Amino acid sequence: MSASNLQIDSKGRLRHFLSISGLNRQLLTEILDTAESFAGVTAQTVKKVPLLRGKTIVNLFFEASTRTRTTFELAAKRLSADVLNINVTQSSAVKGETLLDTLRNLEAMHIDMFVVRHADSGAAHFIANHAAPHISVINAGDGRHSHPTQAMLDMFTIRRVKGPDFGRLRVAIVGDILHSRVARSQIHALNLLHTGEVRIVAPKTLIPVDAESLGAHVFHDLHAGIRDVDVVIMLRLQRERMQGALLPSEHEYYELFGLTEEKLALASPDVTVMHPGPINRGVEMDSEVADGPRSVILEQVTHGIAVRMAVMSMAMRTTAGTQETEQRKEPLPGKGEAAE
């Protein structure tokens, strides 16, 4: 089953949130609008709403993450859901339990939603395909493939700072595009929202061969790449995903692709600087830029909560009437044979 129809139910509503590709502009706008209404919840004395009271959400993290897991957890709690954090790298996986066994065991505990992060591309799709019908799956990052909630919180941040018309914006994504699931999701989202120009800026070794086909202009020189842009999104160098010598040294990378105030002067005067975090200071960007007036890096973190609240409540809405007793879409491997 393809990602697009797995994510959307028969009425065109969000069922799972696995990748930006397969969604449409209308749904992205609905996510952003819904997030806007959740952003107000933090103004309340009691910073939560009872929308998902009685629902159980499992953060199923097969890969380390602090910011993403924490903001997913806070988002779930501000919706009044109960949250379980399971760090699988430290748990049953080391004892040899398969992903499907983990899944079945959690389903047996009557959970309603999985938030999944995994080092393998397609892991969230796999779980969505095999989970019981009342369960929604949110992708919190899978391999090099996709990180859709990060992309949406970036879109939310851009819309808040620059206004709703993406058509007049030039956006440059700078850094390790090759290993970045964030960049892929951002490019899809920016194009779905009809962004004027999307650029990717990186050394040749850190850009995928099919880069232009993603719908972005490719630059190998930072000076040319950020000239006149309205938004610069810096990416983290993913040392842990790099195999072999893709970079001469971090110092040389900083010289060529690190963002400094001097280079930023080439961009539009009201340029906005973003970074999904965690920042390698002095590698991707200078501290002066990261902490400067044009940086919205901490706003991105704040917006991550509202955007995740939006996605969770939208996906839970479509499964709200579904009973646990309904048949799953695809039988769990092994169960079919057992009946014969």
Partner 1 sequence: MNAPEDIAAILDDMAGQLAAHVGKHGANAPAMVGIHTGGVWVAEQLHRRLQLDEPLGSLDISFYRDDFTRIGMNPVVQPSELPFTIDDRHIILVDDVLHTGRTIRAALNELFDYGRPASILLAALIERDGRELPIEASVVGRHVSLQPNEHIKLTGPSPLRLEIQQTA
Per CB under 8 A, residues contacting partner 1 are 30, 33-34, 36-37, 39-41, 43-46, 48-51, 313-314, 317-318, 320-321
- Return the number of the residue (36 or 120) whose C-beta is nearest partner 1: 36
CB of 81 to partner 1, least distance (A): 12
Say what angle helices 148-162 and 181-192 make with each other, to 10 degrees: 50
Specify the residue, 293 or 321, whose C-beta has the smaller distance to partner 1: 321
- In the complex, the smallest distance separating the C-beta of residue 56 from partner 1, rounded to whole angstroms, is 14
* 108 touches 304 (CB < 8 A): no
Q: Which two tokens stand for residue 310?
A: 């939006």
Compare residues 37 and 105 and give the one whose CB is closer to partner 1: 37
To the nearest whole angstrom, how small is the minimum distance from the Cβ of residue 47 to partner 1? 8
Q: Give yes or no for a contact between 270 and 230, defined as CB atoms under 8 angstroms apart.
A: yes
Smallest distance, Å, CB 113 to partner 1?
14
Between 53 and 194, name the residue whose CB sits nearer to partner 1: 53
Q: Which is nearer to partner 1, 64 or 320 (CB)?
A: 320
Q: Which residue lies nearer to partner 1 by CB, 49 or 119?
A: 49
C-alpha–C-alpha distance, residues 116 and 68, integer Å: 11
Q: What DSSP designation does 193 have?
A: T
Which one, 39 or 207, has the nearer CB to partner 1? Answer: 39
Give the span between the Cα atoms of 290 and 327, in whole angstroms.
Answer: 50
Shortest distance (Å) from residue 44 CB to partner 1: 5
Closest to partner 1 by CB, 41 vs 86, is 41
E strands of the chain, at which residues? 56-61, 82-87, 113-118, 136-142, 170-174, 197-201, 217-219, 231-234, 272-274
CA distances from 306 to 77, 221, 223, 275, 288 (A): 12, 35, 34, 18, 28
Structure tokens at 290: 């990261």
> CB-based contacts of 5: which residues, under 8 Å, 6+ apart?
22
> Quick one: 186 or 318, whose CB is closer to partner 1?
318
In 3-state terms, what secondary structure has residue 136?
strand
Min CB(303)–partner 1 separation in Å: 14
- Compute the distance between CA of residue 193 and CA of residue 143 in angstroms, rounded to an integer: 24
Q: Compute the least distance from the CB of residue 317 to partner 1, in Å.
A: 4
Q: Phi, psi at residue 13, to the nearest 5°?
A: -100, 160
- Here the tokens at position 298 are 């901490």
302, 292, 301: which is closest to 272 by C-alpha? 292
Half-sphere exposure of 212 (CA within 13 A, CB side): 3
Minimum gap (Å) between residue 313 Cβ and partner 1:
6
Minimum distance from CB of 316 to partner 1 (Å)? Answer: 9
